[in-house]
């Protein structure tokens, strides 16, 4: 087998005979000569089959998107044919031989056009075709570069990357869980994690001190342009850290990502402005303001911090007495604004510990929470955590959880906090949302390799789908059709 040369390296092989492998991007038959554009993961190059070439028989039958192995000589283009604006615009490959590695049916759509104009259902059904286009190739490869930069940055300041489980316990702390039935313990269920929140705090109990993870998170909630049932989160947690240290690390990392990987973009203001929650709501009527001076410029990045959130908010209820705020609410008139594991700011700790669910004005207690906002999108949020069991118990008490419910759902956290857990805090980024903005895309599906539709369906794999009766019987599950009346 001949050694393969990547297309990006062909210039260094001028005058040499080389072998490339990849796809036929474009074929142009001009009678005596047949021109091709070939592509691999590193780029494109033009090739030509000259009259009398031994490759002509194969060249006459191949078509776009066929996978080929091509041997040829790297020649300089004639001066009049040089295209300086194109990769390899000053060389071409004189094709000496060509073999077909795989044929291809006519694609469902033209990958050379802007596929955003193609029906999204068609694109997602044939996602492996869609991903061949230059725009999505760029998006996914840039995504990998950002992830690599994050890993290197955090590893260099003593963070340890740790994976946490995907099969975990369903607890009432946020959106709806995706649940997974257990075959070995019929009638019992795992939950897929909405975030690694509890695990990362337990890692602080375990003395890991600085943790991060590129985490998959799953939430069974309504979808929209910047939301998916499964998404990627950059998760960080630090022991012995306050709000200031966590915000500084986050800010420095974001500035480096932009400066080194997106130098054509400009951060509007450094350091990032900090806006109290009440001021954001008064001035912008929203807690994720778009501060861009010129909202028509896609290369302006207006980061800001929103801080000083109220810890508690009123627990609005439906007519049947259930909470409108989802499974994270108890039976009282109060629920949390972010998550129950956050701490109040130190100056409010005494008031929290003396508070009762019947008190008015609990929304005046400020949390040690912070959101990072970019161009009107919340791209991350975090807090300093409750690391003492009595503080966490007080939060659940105010929310209306009885001691039995707290022990059942969060006993492991309370026991861990009693074991000598240091003060800690962290932040989680919505990584897909960040990439959407950096790549100037309208929704996160454009920066995810295999996204779901707006209704949460995978059209390529045809999921979700029915399973066999045998599988259901093994799990002790009977499907009850919904009432059609």
Asked if residue 25 is part of any domain, the answer here is: yes
The rounded percent of the chain whose pLDDT value lies above 70 is: 95
Question: What's the confidence (pLDDT) of residue 315?
Answer: 79
Q: Total structural domains in the chain?
A: 2
Give residue 295's pLDDT: 94
pLDDT confidence band for 215 (50 / 70 / 90): very high
**One domain for residues 151 and 295:** yes
For residues 231-248, give the mean pLDDT: 97
Does 85 reside within a domain? yes
φ and ψ at residue 88, rounded to 5 degrees: 60, 30
107: in domain: no
Distance CA 364, CA 372 (A): 22
CATH number at residue 393: 3.30.930.10
Count the neighbouring beta carbons within 10 Å of the beta carbon of residue 369. Answer: 27
Residue 15 confidence class, pLDDT cut points 50, 70, 90:
very high
What's the rounded mean pLDDT across residues 374-394?
Answer: 95
Residue 126 lies in a domain: no
HSE (side-chain half, CA atoms, 13 Å) at 206: 13
Residues 96 and 140 reside in one and the same domain:
no
pLDDT on residue 429:
98
Residue 240 has pLDDT above 80, yes or no: yes
Q: Which of 82, 102, 122 lies at the terminal end of a domain, its last residue? A: 102
Whether residues 171 and 59 fall in one domain: no
Predicted pLDDT at 224: 66
The pLDDT of residue 102: 98
pLDDT at 230: 94
pLDDT of residue 325: 46
In a domain, 118, yes or no: no
Q: Tokens in use for 7?
A: 């297309």
Average pLDDT, the chain: 93
**Is 119 among the domain residues?**
no
Same domain, 76 and 157: no
Ramachandran class of 327: left when φ > 0, alpha when ψ lies in -120 to 50, beta otherwise: alpha
Same domain, 236 and 310: yes
What 468-473 contacts at long range (C-beta under 8 Å, 24+ apart), as own/partner pairs, is: none
Residue range of the domain that includes 90: 7-102
pLDDT in tens, 68-120: 999 999 999 999 999 999 999 999 999 999 999 999 999 999 999 999 999 99
* Same-domain pairing of 358 and 434: yes
DSSP β-bridge partners for residue 314: 334
Of 84, 102, 120, which residue constitutes the final position of a domain?
102
Residues 6+ apart with CB under 8 A from 264: 299
Q: What is the CATH number of the domain that holds 98?
A: 2.40.50.140
* Same domain for 76 and 157: no
172 and 81 in a common domain:
no
- Confidence at residue 483, expressed as pLDDT on a 0 to 100 scale: 72
User: Which pLDDT tens digit goes with each residue over 307-358?
Assistant: 999 999 987 754 444 454 444 556 788 888 888 899 999 999 999 999 988 8
179 and 75 share one domain: no
Indicate if 439 and 365 belong to the same structural domain.
yes
Locate 452 and state its tokens: 């779901």
pLDDT for res 174? 66
Q: Identify the domain boundary among 102, 118, 143.
A: 102
State the Cα–Cα distance between residues 208 and 433, nearest whole angstrom.
28
89 and 201 together in one domain = no
Count of alpha carbons within 13 angstroms of residue 177, beta-carbon side: 19
Given a cut of 90, is residue 200 above it in pLDDT?
Answer: yes
112 in a structural domain = no
Domain match, 253 and 322 both: yes
């Amino acid at each position: 087998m001949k050694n393969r040369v990547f297309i990006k390296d062909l210039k260094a092989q001028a005058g040499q005979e080389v072998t490339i492998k990849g796809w036929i991007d474009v074929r142009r038959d001009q009678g005596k000569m047949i021109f091709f554009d070939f592509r691999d993961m590193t780029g494109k190059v033009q090739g030509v089959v000259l009259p009398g070439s031994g490759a002509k028989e194969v060249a006459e039958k191949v078509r776009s998107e066929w996978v080929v192995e091509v041997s040829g000589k790297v020649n300089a283009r004639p001066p009049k044919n040089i295209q300086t604006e194109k990769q390899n615009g000053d060389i071409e490959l004189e094709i000496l031989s060509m073999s077909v590695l795989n044929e291809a049916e006519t694609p469902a759509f033209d990958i050379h056009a802007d596929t955003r104009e193609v029906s999204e259902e068609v694109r997602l059904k044939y996602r492996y075709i869609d991903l061949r286009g230059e725009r999505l190739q760029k998006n996914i490869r840039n995504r990998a570069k950002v992830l690599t930069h994050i890993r290197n940055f955090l590893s260099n300041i003593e963070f340890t990357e740790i994976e946490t489980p995907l099969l975990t316990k369903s607890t009432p702390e946020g959106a709806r869980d995706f649940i997974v039935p257990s075959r070995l313990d019929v009638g019992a269920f795992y939950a897929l994690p909405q975030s690694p929140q509890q695990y990362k705090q337990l890692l602080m109990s375990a003395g890991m001190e600085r943790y991060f993870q590129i985490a998959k998170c799953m939430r069974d909630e309504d979808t929209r342009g910047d939301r998916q049932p499964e998404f990627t989160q950059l998760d960080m947690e630090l022991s012995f850290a306050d709000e200031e240290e966590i915000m500084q690390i986050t800010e420095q990392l974001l500035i480096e990502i932009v400066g080194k990987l997106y130098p054509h973009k400009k951060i509007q203001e450094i350091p990032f402005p900090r806006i109290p929650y009440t001021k954001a709501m008064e001035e912008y009527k929203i807690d994720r303001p778009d501060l861009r001076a010129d909202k028509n410029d896609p290369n302006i990045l207006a980061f800001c911090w929103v801080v000083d959130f109220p810890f508690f908010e009123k627990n609005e209820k439906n007519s049947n007495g259930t909470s409108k705020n989802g499974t994270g609410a108890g039976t009282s008139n109060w629920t949390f604004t972010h998550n129950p594991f956050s701490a109040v700011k130190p100056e409010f700790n005494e008031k929290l510990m003396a508070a009762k669910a019947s008190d008015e004005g609990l929304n005046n207690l400020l949390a040690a929470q912070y959101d990072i906002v970019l161009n009107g999108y919340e791209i991350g949020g975090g807090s300093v955590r409750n690391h003492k069991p009595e503080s966490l118990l007080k939060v659940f008490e105010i929310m209306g959880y009885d001691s039995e419910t707290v022990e059942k759902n969060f006993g492991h956290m309370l026991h861990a906090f009693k074991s000598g857990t240091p003060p800690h805090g962290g932040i989680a980024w919505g990584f897909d949302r960040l990439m959407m903005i950096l790549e100037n895309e309208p929704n996160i599906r454009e920066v995810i390799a295999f996204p779901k539709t707006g209704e949460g369906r995978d059209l390529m794999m045809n999921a979700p789908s029915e399973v066999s009766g045998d599988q259901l019987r093994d799990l002790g599950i009977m499907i009850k059709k919904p009432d059609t009346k």
